Amino acid sequence: FELGEPGQSPCTFGDAANIFRTNIEQIYGDEPSLDGCPVAEGELDSMVTGNTFVGLQKYYEMFGPAYKLCFGPKSFIVLSDPVMIRHVLRDNAKAYDKGILAEILEPVMGKGLIPADPATWKVRRRAIVPGFHKAWLNAMIGVFGDCNNVLIGKLEDVAQRDDQIEMESHFCSVSLDIIGKAIFNYEFGSVTKESPVIQSVYSVLKETEHRSTSPIPYWELPLANQLVPRLRKFNSDLKILNTVLTDLIARAKSSEDKADLEDLQARNYDKVSDPSMLRFLVDLRGEDATDSQLRDDLMTMLIAGHETTAAVLTWALFEMAQNPEVVRKAQEEVDRVIGDRVPTLDDIKSLKYIRYMAAESLRMYPEPPLLIRRALESDELPPGSGDGHRPKITRGVDLFLAIYNLHRSEDFWENPNKFDPERFERPFQNKGVEGWAGFNPDLLEGKLYPNEIASDFAYLPFGGGQRKCVGDQFAMMESVVSLAMLTRRFEFELMIKPEEVGFYTGATIHTRNGLPMRVKKRVLPGTEQTGGGEAAKNEPVEASGSSA
Ligand code: HEM
ipTM summary value: 0.99
Q: Is 125 in the pocket of ligand 1 (CB under 6 A)?
A: yes
To test ligand 1's pocket by mutation, which of 360, 469, 508 has the most ligand atoms within 8 angstroms of CB? 469
Neighbours of 28 (CB within 10 A): 8
**Which residues sit opposite 428 in a β-bridge?**
439
- What secondary structure, in 3-state letters, does 42-73 show? CCCHHHHCCCHHHHHHHHHHHHCCEEEEEECC
H or E element that contains 406: helix 403-407
Q: Is 455 in the pocket of ligand 1 (CB under 6 A)?
A: no
Q: Is 113 in the pocket of ligand 1 (CB under 6 A)?
A: yes
Q: What pLDDT is recorded for position 539?
A: 53
Q: What pLDDT is recorded for position 7?
A: 42
- Cα distance between residue 429 and residue 545, in whole Å: 32
- Cα distance between residue 432 and residue 79, in whole Å: 18
Q: Is 474 in the pocket of ligand 1 (CB under 6 A)?
A: yes
User: 509 CA distance to ligand 1 centroid (A)?
Assistant: 15
Neighbours of 494 (CB within 10 A): 19
Look at residue 96 and give its three-state secondary structure. Answer: strand
pLDDT beneath 70: ranges in the chain: 1-11, 42-50, 213, 215, 285-288, 532-548
47 Cβ contact list (under 8 Å, min separation 6): 55, 56
Look at residue 325 and give its three-state secondary structure. Answer: helix
279 Cβ contact list (under 8 Å, min separation 6): 185, 252, 260, 264, 272
114 in Cβ contact with 300 (< 8 Å): yes
Q: Determine the residue type at 239.
A: K
* Nearest CA-CA partner of 340 in 478, 487, 150: 487
Q: Determine the straight-line distance between the first and last CA of the chain, rounded to whole angstroms.
A: 45
User: 471 CA distance to ligand 1 centroid (A)?
Assistant: 6
- Cα distance between residue 297 and residue 113, in whole Å: 7
- Cα distance between residue 318 and residue 301, in whole Å: 26
376 in Cβ contact with 345 (< 8 Å): no
* Nearest CA-CA partner of 470 in 362, 373, 400, 548: 548
Q: Is 249 in the pocket of ligand 1 (CB under 6 A)?
A: no
User: 470 CA distance to ligand 1 centroid (A)?
Assistant: 6
Query: Residue with the nearest Cα to atom 8 of ligand 1?
Result: 462
Q: Is 137 in the pocket of ligand 1 (CB under 6 A)?
A: no
**Please, what is the Cα angle at 186 between 184 and 187, to 5 degrees?**
150
Query: Residue with the nearest Cα to atom 3 of ligand 1?
Result: 305
User: 303 CA distance to ligand 1 centroid (A)?
Assistant: 9
- Cα distance between residue 393 and residue 376, in whole Å: 10
287 Cβ contact list (under 8 Å, min separation 6): none
- Cα distance between residue 174 and residue 193, in whole Å: 12
Q: What pLDDT is recorded for position 534?
A: 53
User: 521 CA distance to ligand 1 centroid (A)?
Assistant: 34
The counts of H helices and E strands in the chain are: 21, 14
Give tens-digit pLDDT for 403-456.
Answer: 999 999 999 999 999 999 999 999 998 878 889 999 999 999 999 999 999 999
Look at residue 380 and give its three-state secondary structure. Answer: strand
Q: What pLDDT is recorded for position 504?
A: 85
